[in-house]
Chains A and B, each alone.
Chain A
C-alpha cells in the first residue's frame, strides 16, 4: 500500500489539489477565494498532465547533440508540455476575465461576499 502511494505520488498529489480547488470554489463565500480555488484546480490539472510525461532517466525535450535522435526514450514526452502551455494561457485569460468581473462587482456592491451580494441583488 505504501509502495503504491510512493509509485504513484504525482497522481495522488494532483488529485488532492483538485479536490482542494473544487472545495474552495464551492464552499467558500468570498468570491476572491473562489477564484483562487479555481486557480488551484486548474494548476493541479496541469501538474497531472505534466507528471504524465515523465520518463525515468530522460531529460528535457530539447534536442541535445550529445544524445542524438535515435532513442526517444532519452527525452521526456514533449506533447503534454506543449498542451499545458496552451492550458496555462487559458488559465491566465480566465483569471483576467474573472478579475475584471470581480472588479465590476466590487465597484457596485463594495463587498466580495457572495451571500451579501445575492441578498442585495434579490431585493
Chain B
C-alpha cells in the first residue's frame, strides 16, 4: 500500500465549495443556478470515480496540506474505505440534485438559493470526512457538516422546523464536542492522529485507558450514527424537505457517523485491540438493541418519513454490528451495506417525496390505493422494500448474507438470530405500506398522476441500481472489492 501525492482528493472537496459559491451568486437566475448544482455533482462524482482504480490497486492518492495544529497537518487520503463512502455520497448527490429540482419547483418553495448552496457545502464536508487522513481533519469536516446541514433542516422555517433544528443542533453539537475531547485524548496518548489500517493505539496506550476512550468516541460518533439512545433527533429532523431527508439523513450525515466508527475501529483502535478491551461486545450489543427496538418503533409510526427514519436507524445498526464483529465477512457486509442501504433508502425517500408533492399526504393511513394511481413510484418502493428485508435478488440480500456469515465466523451466533428477526420486522413495517398502496380501496375522489419526470427518473434509477448491485455486487462501483480490500487491510491476520 503506497500513497502517491495527488491533488484529486483536495479537488473533490473543493469542487462542491466552488459550486456553492456559484450557486449563491446566480440566485437570481434559477436555471443557471440549478445548472451549477448538476455540473458540480457530476464533476465531483467524476473525480471520485477516477480515484477508484488507484484505490483498488492499493495506491492511494494523498495530499498533505499545511499544518493545522503543531504536529498535525490538514491531509486527505483517498483510501478504499474513504472511496466507498465518497463514491456512494457523490453518486447519490447527482440523483438527489435532479430530484430536488423537481421537488422544489413542483412545490414552489422559497429560499431555494440557500437550499442549494448549503447542499453543496454539505457535500463538500462529506467529501472531507470521507477522505480525511487523520482524526483532526475528520473532526473539522464533521463539525462543518453539522453546521452546513442546519439551514437545510429548518428550511420550512415553521415553529416546528425551528424546534427540530434546535434539537438537531443540541444532539449533534454535543456529539461533536465529545468527539473533540476524544481526539484530544488520543493525541495526548499517542502524539499522532493519522489513520492507519489496523490501528495505532495498541502498545502505546495503557489498557485501562482504552475503554473510556472508546466510550467517548462512542458518544461522539453515536450521535450522528443515530445509535440508540442518541437517535431521537433523526425522526424529528424529518420535518426537513424530502430531498434533504433523502440525501443527508439516509446517506451523508448518518453515514458520516457510521463511517466514523469504521475509521475509529479499523484505523485508530484496530479490531483486535478493540475486541481485547471488550468494546466489541459492547458495540455489538448496543447495535442489536438499536436494530430490534427501532424496528418495533418503526411499526408504530403513521408518518411515512418518520417510519423511514426509524428504518434508517435499524440499518445503521446493521453496519455497526458488522464492524463490531471480528471477522472479514462481517466487515465486508457492514461496509457494503453503507452503499447498499444508501441506494435503497434514498429510493424510499424519493417515493415519499413524490407522493407528498402530488397528494400532500404524509401519513401512511392516507396512502390507500395510491399504488394503482402511481404505479411506477410504488413499484420502485415495493422493489426496494424487498431489498431492505434482505431478500434476493436485491443488494440488501448481499449485505445480509455477508453479515450473517460474519456472525457465524466470529462465533457469535446470537447476532445471526438478531439479523433474521429484524428481517421479519423490516417486512412488518414495510410490506403493509405496499399492501395498502396496491390492494386497499382509496377513499379519495381525486385521481393522482405520477410525479414529474424530474422526480420519477431518479427514483427509478436508484431502484434499478439496487437491483443491479444485488445481481452484480461488484459492478461499476466495485463496492464489493473495495469492502474486501478494507476488511483485509484492517483485519490483517486477525479473525477468520
Chain A in direct contact with chain B (Cβ < 8 angstroms): no
| Residue ranges of B at the interface with A (Cβ–Cβ < 8 Å) | none
| Residue ranges of A at the interface with B (Cβ–Cβ < 8 Å) | none
